[in-house]
Amino acid sequence: MAGPGFAVLDFETTGLFPGGHDRVVEVAVVHVNDSGRVTGRWETLVNPQRDLGAQHIHGIRSADILDAPTFAAIAPHLVDLLGGRVLVAHNASFDLRFLLAELARSGYPQASALDIEHLCTMQLARDFIPGAGRSLADCCAAFDIDLENAHRASVDASATARLLGEYIAASEGSELWNDSLDRALDAVWPVLSKQTVLDEVWRAREATAASSNTSTFLQRIADKLPEFGGPAEHQNYWALLDQCLLDRQLSVHEANALVRLADELSISRSTCERLHIEYFEAVVNVAWADGVLTLDEIADLTAVATLLGLPAVYVAAAVEPPAKSVGRHAAPVDANGSVGSQGSASPRVAGAFRLEVGDLVVLTGDMRRSREDWHRELEQRGFEPRPAITKKVKLVVASDPDSLSGKARKARDYGITIVNEAGLERLLKGPG
């Protein structure tokens, strides 16, 4: 007699080696009944508590997984979704290895001894579509199954579920499926305690990404009345803002740091908005310093305005030559490109970030350029690339500034500036 059906599983991971330090970053499960019809879908991002590896493949940002559950948190619900069913995956040995490794880390050391009934749609392709390729894309193409946005767990799992349905429909007999379904009913899965229901802990990619939107950080700053912050506090806020925008990206950690600092300095949201405008005007002055505004500089001004939450009218005014611009309240910039403000009450920002010859620099994560290339250039410019974080390190360069790698976490503990590759390129290029 046929069992309850199949559970199609797909993982997105930080790499290929579950026995080492690679971890699951996204999981999707699709239930399919014994006739090949989809009966349910679930997906969630997973916080791997380390860097995300090849982000250009799975497209997941560190900001997306900061509030996502750990694998240990989803494990009880995942086991419920898989239990009593035949596990199906494309290249099932890969997903099985990660599943067993993650279960072992989640408090089930006997996971390696589990005998999980499973089928592999990649292996089954030899029987159902002989001569076709073995990749998921090749197999789906043979049946005209859509695989747009591949390397997203829900997309790959749904495509694999449809592929399974085509195999079932094309099979001449049902012994393969029924025998496997019956064996799955006898499999013993671990019993893991659940503290929450599935809908409360699983976080799909869009939901988590939306919750980590940094563009609304100004709304989280208190509107203090009366306000106690003065010129010195304004400079401190400017200095952190300048540091956060070095790479023209505002990470979740940086947005949180700006909110905390505004609260600690007792400066209000309206004051922060004014400081943002003056900071933007300082960037505009730098861009116009040579009397020419290039397309790259316009793109840069647009990026800064967007990060600061400024409306498009500020960019429109900024691209006009200074003599024609109306209502520009420019903040002066010193010879090093440091942001300042008008009047003696608010002198230029002290301690604007820059690299000096001899500074120690650490790189972490997968870069566009090879680590060797970056180290060579840094050394040629007089800086010292280092493999590990110490309090003497001046800068950490991460493929993703919100990275949860050990290096990035330690850098935040020490208050070390973190930028992405674009930020490093800007620092090496110099002000202006």
26 within domain boundaries: yes
364 within domain boundaries: yes
DSSP bridge partners of 363: 397
Q: Compute the mean pLDDT over every residue in the chain, rounded to the nearest whole number.
A: 85
Model confidence band, residue 214 (pLDDT cutoffs 50, 70, 90)? low
Q: Supply the pLDDT for residue 215.
A: 53
> How far is it, in rounded angstroms, from Cα 6 to Cα 192?
21
338 within domain boundaries: no
Same-domain status, 176 and 87: yes
8 has pLDDT over 70: yes
The DSSP element (H or E) to which 410 belongs, if any, is helix 406-414
355 within domain boundaries: no
Residues 16-23: what's their mean pLDDT?
87
Q: Supply the pLDDT for residue 149.
A: 80
From residue 218, give the alpha-carbon distance in Å to each of 131, 224, 259, 268: 58, 13, 7, 10
145 has pLDDT over 50: yes
Same-domain status, 14 and 108: yes
Residues 335-348: what's their mean pLDDT?
38
Same-domain status, 75 and 106: yes
404 within domain boundaries: yes
> How far is it, in rounded angstroms, from Cα 209 to Cα 215?
12
The total domain count for the chain is 3
> How far is it, in rounded angstroms, from Cα 319 to Cα 314?
9
334 within domain boundaries: no
Read off the CATH number of the domain in which 18 is found. Answer: 3.30.420.10
Higher confidence at residue 165 or residue 246?
165
% of residues, the chain, pLDDT over 90? 46
61 has pLDDT over 80: yes
- Report which of 135, 159, 138 is spatially closest to residue 147, judged by C-alpha positions: 159
Q: Supply the pLDDT for residue 335.
A: 37
User: In sequence order, which residues have a C-beta less than 8 Å from that of residue 3 and are 6 or more positions away?
Assistant: 34, 84, 85, 86, 181, 182, 184, 185
Residues 214-232: what's their mean pLDDT?
72
Same-domain status, 17 and 91: yes
Highest mean pLDDT among 49-58, 91-100, 211-220, 349-358: 91-100
pTM tops 0.85, yes or no = no
Highest mean pLDDT among 15-19, 135-139, 191-195: 135-139
Count of residues making up the chain: 432
221 within domain boundaries: yes
Q: Supply the pLDDT for residue 193.
A: 77
323 has pLDDT over 90: no
Read off the CATH number of the domain in which 377 is found. Answer: 3.40.50.10190
Same-domain status, 98 and 177: yes
Same-domain status, 253 and 138: no
Same-domain status, 37 and 163: yes
Model confidence band, residue 431 (pLDDT cutoffs 50, 70, 90)? low
Same-domain status, 224 and 145: no
- Report which of 291, 342, 284 is spatially closest to residue 317, judged by C-alpha positions: 284
Question: Where in the sequence is the domain holding 158, given as residue range(s)?
Answer: 6-210
Q: Supply the pLDDT for residue 3.
A: 63
Q: Beta-strand (E) ranges in 258-390?
A: 360-364, 384-386
Model confidence band, residue 217 (pLDDT cutoffs 50, 70, 90)? confident
> How far is it, in rounded angstroms, from Cα 318 to Cα 325?
7
Q: Supply the pLDDT for residue 213.
A: 52
> Which of 285, 300, 318 is the last residue before a domain boundary?
318
Same-domain status, 114 and 18: yes
Same-domain status, 122 and 222: no
Q: Supply the pLDDT for residue 147.
A: 87
pLDDT digits (tens, 9 = 90+) for 388-401: 999 999 999 998 88
275 within domain boundaries: yes
> Which of 318, 346, 377 is the last residue before a domain boundary?
318
Specify whether the CB–CB gap between 203 and 59 falls below 8 A.
no
> Which of 174, 191, 210 is the last residue before a domain boundary?
210
Residues 239-262: what's their mean pLDDT?
89
212 has pLDDT over 80: no
Same-domain status, 175 and 238: no
350 has pLDDT over 80: no
Same-domain status, 255 and 282: yes
